[in-house]
Amino acid sequence: MKVMGKLWLETLGAYQYVLTFLFMGPFFSLLLLFLLFTSFWSVPVLYFVWFFLDWDTPNQGGRQFEWIKKFFMWKYARDYFPIKMVKTAELPPDRNYVVGAHPHGIMAFGTFINFCANVDGFFKKFPGIRASLAGQAILFYLPVSRDYFMANGLCSVSRWSLDYCLSKAQRGQAVVIIVGGAHESLYAIPGRHCLVLRNRKGFVRLALRHGASLVPMYSFGENDIFHFKFFDTNSWQHLCQLTFKKIMGFSPCIFWGRGLFSANSWGLLPLARPITTVVGHPIPVPQRLDPTKEEVDHYHTLYMEALEQLFEDHKESCGVPASTRLTFI
């Protein structure tokens, strides 16, 4: 009975993440709009006044609450897959870091659980480092959910926001950027390892401006937790996905998992496949307030080589066939 109870808690932990990711923002947007036309109209009015006054907070490091980051369901969500982090090198707290997180997958489960949920992931393995996960700006335009995501440690991925985090007087700041972003979710094919990285260099410029070390990180298994419908890059469906992303800021994907009560039925519950997040060695970067193209290209190349080597060194221990290669687009 105790084992069954734990299994159900793990299932609910993973499922609540999916429901929050997909529906929390739209649900509260519609709810507040509905309340405007009821006797509770003062609730949305007061909230939107707060929303306006608090507009810049996502660009100023966000607003974390440890009691939310330690929410007991995060532990069960971690154990559902399970998710674990592998440390390959120390990150001394006397410097700052730009951590490149790969791949995006559908919902970035591994990155979120390891960096936002305080359940013995990054915070235990790298004491003295204060990490902030950078999220898409659209996450902070949606009422209530913006406050929830910030409470869990998210901040905006805008340049202003990232500069703010790395400009703090206290060292040991780390910004975690899912470099491939929403575009990479279009390649979240199970068994494939395709990264949108070749022309993504903004994170390298950020590191150079602040003299922050670059840290490659890869979550093996992130692409394996959902079934995925991939459209050829020359198809009209793929073109529609890219057009939607340009307008809305995120990519519409067709994906599915298993049912909540049956593993053989269709549903939104992710598949229980292990996710192993491997954090690589830091790459020292000099401070250049106005880095040249050559400098950016040089450190971008070093980063790609380090990430590829990280993948090669750990792929077999993480269940990836030896013949599999990392693909950059």
Is the Cβ–Cβ distance between 184 and 195 less than 8 Å?
A: yes
Nearest of 232, 218, 220, 233 to residue 190 by alpha carbon: 220
Nearest of 304, 92, 117 to residue 218 by alpha carbon: 304
* DSSP string covering 11-47: HHHHHHHHHHHHHHHHHHHHHHHHHTTSTTTHHHHHH
Chain centroid to Cα 223, Å, comes to 13
Is the Cβ–Cβ distance between 289 and 304 less than 8 Å?
A: no
Alpha helices in 152-265 (DSSP H): 159-166, 181-184, 202-210, 236-248
* pLDDT reported for residue 247: 78
Q: How many angstroms separate the CA atoms of 245 and 268, rounded? A: 22
Q: Name residues whose C-beta falls within 8 Å of residue 164's C-beta, 6 or more positions apart in sequence.
A: 59, 60, 61
* pLDDT reported for residue 245: 80
* pLDDT reported for residue 1: 45
* pLDDT reported for residue 283: 98
* DSSP string covering 70-105: T-HHHHHHHHHTTEEEEE-S---TTS-EEEEEE--T
* pLDDT reported for residue 244: 83
Give the start-to-end residue ranges of the domains of the chain. 2-328
Nearest of 160, 207, 206 to residue 60 by alpha carbon: 160
Query: Phi first, then psi: what are they for 87, rounded to 5°?
Result: -100, 125
Report mean pLDDT in 10-residue bins for the chain, 329 residues. Answer: 77 94 94 96 96 93 88 92 95 96 95 87 87 91 94 93 94 96 92 95 97 98 94 88 80 89 88 96 96 97 98 96 94
Cα–Cα distances in Å, from 68 out to 22, 27, 119, 122, 149?
A: 19, 20, 11, 16, 10
Handedness of CA 83, 89, 94, 100 (dihedral sign): negative
- Helices 202-210 and 159-166, packing angle to 10 deg: 30
CATH architecture assigned to 2-328:
3-Layer(aba) Sandwich (3.40)
Q: How many angstroms separate the CA atoms of 87 and 279, rounded? A: 5
Q: Name residues whose C-beta falls within 8 Å of residue 196's C-beta, 6 or more positions apart in sequence.
A: 179, 180, 181, 183, 184, 187, 329
User: Per this entry, what is the length of the chain?
Assistant: 329
